[in-house]
């Protein structure tokens, strides 16, 4: 049991790092290209170098490993152009959806398995059903891959749920800034309250239940 817990922890951390990087990297690349093509000359002189490590939020990674719900650290965006904000927000949501569907396809057609999973008392992902009864018969690397891809799927959809909240650093905030600039100012003032609501729903297990339900639907 200890071996499985350690393996799951490592798999979840690895999956969380990759999800964070692949969520923010496309937005950062798109932003830089837009700025170089349409931005002012003075803006082009002051730009941050894209460093994938920067996108990994340590606290968000801990949440990913424990709850399957987390958040990444975004690239610095100057929210001046409405169209840019909308493109960046859509890109962020699409990157998470694409990651989720790719991993589900790998689990369904690559491993050719169908299984249910449950959340234990610590809200950590575990397997049940067919996998739980026979997982000991698989090589340890195969077992790790199943933990990794399953954690990857649940973290990617969990991060998408987080980005549906209008937190200042979320994709939803970019869409609000693009379509309702005045409401974005309101979000700036209410960011602390929104974070508290997000934390409450996370600790109550509501968001974990939502992400697990989505994952179960596509794995049935």
Give me the count of residues in the chain.
220
Whether residue 130 is predicted with pLDDT greater than 70 in this model: the reply is no
Whether residue 213 is predicted with pLDDT greater than 70 in this model: the reply is yes
> Any residues with CB less than 8 A from the CB of 123 and at least 6 apart, and which?
66, 67, 68, 205, 208
Whether residue 26 is predicted with pLDDT greater than 90 in this model: the reply is yes
Domain that holds residue 175: 2-219
- CA–CA dist 181, 168 (Å, integer): 13
Query: Do 127 and 111 contact (CB within 8 A), yes or no?
Result: no
pLDDT for the residue 4: 74
Q: What is the DSSP letter of 110?
A: I
pLDDT for the residue 182: 81
Reported as type and span, the H/E element at residue 125 is strand 125-127
Whether residue 121 is predicted with pLDDT greater than 50 in this model: the reply is no
Whether residue 80 is predicted with pLDDT greater than 60 in this model: the reply is yes
φ and ψ at 205, to 5 degrees? Answer: 80, 10
Number of domains in the chain: 1
Query: Do 194 and 188 contact (CB within 8 A), yes or no?
Result: no
């Amino acid at each position: 049991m200890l071996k499985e817990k350690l393996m799951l922890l490592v798999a979840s951390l690895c999956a969380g790092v990759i999800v964070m990087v692949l969520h923010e990297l496309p937005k950062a690349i798109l932003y830089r290209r837009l700025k170089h093509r349409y931005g002012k000359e003075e803006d082009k002189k002051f730009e941050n170098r894209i460093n994938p490590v920067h996108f990994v939020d340590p606290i968000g990674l801990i949440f990913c490993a424990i709850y399957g719900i987390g958040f990444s650290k975004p690239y610095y965006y100057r929210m001046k152009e409405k169209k840019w904000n909308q493109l960046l927000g859509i890109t962020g949501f699409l990157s998470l959806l694409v990651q989720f569907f790719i991993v589900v396809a790998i689990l369904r057609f690559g491993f050719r398995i169908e299984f249910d999973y449950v959340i234990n008392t610590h809200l950590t992902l575990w397997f049940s059903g067919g996998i739980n009864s026979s997982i000991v018969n698989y090589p340890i690397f195969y077992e790790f891959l199943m933990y990794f891809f399953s954690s990857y799927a649940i973290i990617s959809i969990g991060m998408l749920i987080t980005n549906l909240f209008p937190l200042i650093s979320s994709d939803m905030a970019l869409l609000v800034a693009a379509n309702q600039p005045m409401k974005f100012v309101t979000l700036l003032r209410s960011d602390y309250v929104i974070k508290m609501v997000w934390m409450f729903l996370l600790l109550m297990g509501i968001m974990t239940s939502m992400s697990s339900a989505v994952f179960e639907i596509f794995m049935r």
